[in-house]
Amino acid sequence: MTEHERYLAAYRELHRPTDDERTRGWQGLAARARAGEIVALEDGDDDPVTGTGTATRRGAPVVLFAAAAAAALLWLGAQLPSWLASDGGHVSPQAASDARRTPSSSQARVVDDVKTVAPVPAEPPQRREAAMPSVTPSPTPTPAASDDATAIAPPRAGRRAPVIDAPREATIVDEVPALPAPTEPPTAVAAEATIDADEIAALRAAQALAASAPARALAAVAAHAGRYPSSSLAAEREITRMRALCNLGRADEVREAAATFERDHAGSPLLARVRGLCPDAD
């Protein structure tokens, strides 16, 4: 095998039509025949290309195949020199696969020529009508009733928006003056008076002397007041002094001391004792 034949065999292998392409080619020829673009030769008719009549309708496929093969060989011979000149005829597997899947414009022209020249056996009218799919016109879509109802229906009254009062103006208040400092410090709470045993014993001694020795009782009361001026027994001590004065016959002093006691100890339970202490002072 010469190099030219080897390139030719490789090119044929590369551009050999696939089964799908051959099927689509035959379907295209049949469609053109049904459309009237190709007229099949009847028995006795002259071939427009050769001028001879066909023997039988069964010979039409043989003529078609021969015409297709001849056209393919003519086209292949015209394209082979340019193919050999491009890159030495070397084709990558990816390019070969792409070329087999995508037919070139030259191939399309050859197929069109074959479709025009080669006769195709005519199909009966019944088969032709069965092959043509019936197309049912789609109904014109009508607007939905819901859209009309939506367009005509009056808008529903929505919820009333809440009324928001306008913001009130802020009231400007002058700075609050500071409170004046107290002029006098608060008086300290008096310390709790404490009672010890000596304080109680001294008052008991003065009370015992009020009946028998009122003068000595007055002296003991004065000593107790000087020693315990803030004593919690001051009210008891004042009653002892008024009893001693009453026993000495000094009713005016008892009356004056009783008035002062009622003023200083208002509400005290000892007031009943003071009122009945000295009959001469009443």
- What is the rounded distance in angstroms from the CA atom of residue 221 to the CA atom of residue 145? 119
CB-based contact 11:80 (threshold 8 Å): yes
Mean per-residue pLDDT for 28-38?
79
Number of residues written out for the chain: 282
More confident residue, 132 or 38: 38
pLDDT of residue 49: 43
pLDDT of residue 28: 84
Q: Give the count of beta carbons closer than 10 Å to the beta carbon of residue 242.
A: 24
pLDDT of residue 213: 95
Which of 110-128 are b and which e, b meaning 16 or more Cβ less than 10 Å from the residue's Cβ? bbeebbebbbbebeeeeee
- What is the rounded distance in angstroms from the CA atom of residue 33 to the CA atom of residue 128? 10
Q: Domain locations in the chain?
A: 3-131, 197-281
CB-based contact 215:243 (threshold 8 Å): no
Convert the pLDDT of each residue in 167-185 to its tens digit. Answer: 555 555 455 455 555 554 4
CB-based contact 46:53 (threshold 8 Å): yes
Q: Phi/psi class of residue 192: alpha, beta or left (left: φ > 0; alpha: ψ in -120 to 50)?
A: beta
- What is the rounded distance in angstroms from the CA atom of residue 282 to the CA atom of residue 267? 20
Q: Nearest 5°: phi and psi at 144? A: -65, 150
CA 119 vs CA 36, 49, 76, 115, 124: distances in Å:
11, 10, 22, 8, 16
More confident residue, 94 or 248: 248
Give the sign of the dihedral formed by CA 240, CA 246, CA 250, CA 253.
Answer: positive
pLDDT of residue 253: 93
Q: Which of 260, 257, 258 is nearest to 272 (CA)?
A: 258
- What is the rounded distance in angstroms from the CA atom of residue 11 to the CA atom of residue 72? 12
Mean per-residue pLDDT for 22-48?
70
More confident residue, 244 or 81: 244
pLDDT of residue 179: 58
Which residues neighbour 67 within 8 Å (Cβ) at sequence distance 6 or greater?
114, 117, 118
Residue type, 121: P
- What is the rounded distance in angstroms from the CA atom of residue 244 to the CA atom of residue 232? 20
Q: Give the count of beta carbons closer than 10 Å to the beta carbon of residue 224.
A: 22
